[in-house]
Amino acid sequence: QVQLQGSGPGPVPVKPSQTLSLTCTVSGDSVTSGAYFWHWIRQTAEKGLEWVGRISTSGTINYNPSLKSRVTISVDISRDQFSLSLNSVTAADTAVYYCAKGPRFYYPSSGYPFYFDDWAQGTLVSVSS
Amino acid sequence: QSALTQPRSVSGSPGQSVTISCTGTPSDIGTYDYVSWYQQHPGKAPKVMIYDVTRRPSGVPDRFSASKSGNTASLTISGLQTEDEADYYCCSYVGDYNWVFGGGTKLTVL
């Protein structure tokens, strides 16, 4: 049973124009598992849920086109973690950020790899001066 | 890519059935059979209830069912129970390795 735990800057707001950084720790399996994609999804009161991006340790990385110029997702294999970095933040980036996983391949038992099957508890990030 | 359209709220009494609609476009729901539904209780992370339009993960009660017609997907919950009271979100793959969610529907069990 894979478990995900997100962590972030804590209660201190991120200042506008700075960089937001979040980490997700994987347990119960390895982040190098070829069976999964590792995703970031955020939730705001205004826009609801928004997919941010995904990574696999095979080297595949995809970003939401609306955020692509500001987002970087990476993997730290030694720590079984994957991370999100979002630069030039504004108040609109204030959100609960979720890390999640999804299948990477089609299997009859789990279907096509276009959904998110496990989510961590969210991490609230506030952007404020 | 615009968000999918869901009703803001629906309600039903215990034992009844409710259906939540999710309207997209020919470019998302109309093209891809990769619609998923998520249940979110207050303060909790979303949980997948349906994937690939109609499939239920193990552990999800068969009271939850879903379908798709044209550009609209639907989630039906039959035999409503109090624990079903939550927010429900649809999600569709939209191609080019991108996903879009609906705005969410608050289900109230009266």
Are B1 and B57 in contact by the 8 Å Cβ rule? The answer is no
Q: Best residue in B36, B98, B100 to probe A by mutation, most A CBs within 10 Å?
A: B98
For residue B18, the model assigns a pLDDT of 98
Are B88 and B37 in contact by the 8 Å Cβ rule? The answer is yes
Asked whether the beta carbons of residue B103 and residue A50 sit closer than 8 angstroms, the reply is no
Rounded Cα–Cα distance for residues B63 and A74 (Å): 39
Which of A65, A114, A117 comes nearest B93 by C-beta? A114
For residue A1, the model assigns a pLDDT of 87
What is the pLDDT of chain A when averaged over all its residues?
A: 94
The answer, for B12 touching chain A at a CB cutoff of 8 Å, is no
**Partners of A118 in the beta sheet?**
A101
For residue A23, the model assigns a pLDDT of 98
